[in-house]
Chain A
């Protein structure tokens, strides 16, 4: 149940991001929307790894070594999401750098101004 709510949240965030990419004309808003799609994907991946009544896979007083396989959530999606967050940051940085250059060439951030590079 918990993970279904989180999973649905992730899917909705992805849809909001997709709508933002398709509907907005401002490059900065498109970049924010792309980050939203990425964030939604991260939420989705973490939700898939949830195990019913599970806890974080960190061994301490609350979770002994013996009971860890029965009570821990899946650590693999969490490890993958750390990778995905870093790559998302990298993509956003490159997108913002291109946005700066595009703004310098046309003095506007609307993608309607950038028609000459089509085909």
Chain B
């Protein structure tokens, strides 16, 4: 009990600070100037109905690129931490445990659900510029399909070469689209290298759907690699 007293005091003091924040919080009634210019500019300049996707994949697309690099680093880092020169006893014991087949319910559900989840992921990725969705979200959904597949068949070997080649290819294409923006449009990752099209149509908003697909493929591959590393 005495050990927890300093922790309790720390949490209480922080709660006091948080309480002043919550009490002093005043809800905005109008947009801040930066936000207002984004809300005005994204539909006009980029032709994307979803303002957040416009920010993520054009105005702040360089950040998005950095974020994907972070995910790649995590996949590499998890592999580095979990890599073991001589397999310890605990690891092989967990291996034999993991090799037990999943129950029939899980296997049947996986057979039905994995294609549906994949279709849903494609829908989320391809509608990122029109409605809620985008590359990151869709990539995470792809990874959930991979996870379900691995749960249903624990001994299944993911093709890691295919995953890393696809992921690298998506990354290279993402950067190439960015460089194309530098040459043919206003700057790095400018979406106006492709025609903007009709506002709100499926093929519109310039390069944003293309970038979305590349991002979704890349994130899906990276998260699948991370899942695979944890299983090994």
User: Which residues of chain B are within 8 angstroms of A103 by Cβ–Cβ distance?
Assistant: 90
**A59-B200 contact, Cβ under 8 Å, with A19-B7, A76-B55:** yes
Count of B interface residues, CB-CB < 8 Å = 56
Q: Which of B49-81 contact A (CB under 8 A)?
A: 49-52, 55-56, 60, 63-64, 67, 70-71, 73-74, 77-78, 81
B124 to chain A, nearest CB (A): 13
Do A74 and B28 touch across chains, with their CB atoms under 8 A apart? yes
Q: How far is the CA of A23 from the CA of B37 in the complex (A)?
A: 45
Interface bin, chain A? 35 or more
Main SS at interface, chain A: helix
User: Which residues of chain B are within 8 angstroms of A93 by Cβ–Cβ distance?
Assistant: 74, 78, 226, 230
Most chain B beta carbons < 10 A, residue from A60, A65, A90:
A90
Q: How far is the CA of A94 from the CA of B229 in the complex (A)?
A: 11
Most chain B beta carbons < 10 A, residue from A1, A18, A93:
A93
Residues in B lying within 8 Å of A, measured CB to CB? 4, 7-8, 10-11, 14-15, 18, 21-22, 25, 27-32, 34-36, 38-40, 42-44, 49-52, 55-56, 60, 63-64, 67, 70-71, 73-74, 77-78, 81-82, 88, 90-91, 131-132, 134, 136, 199-200, 226, 229-230
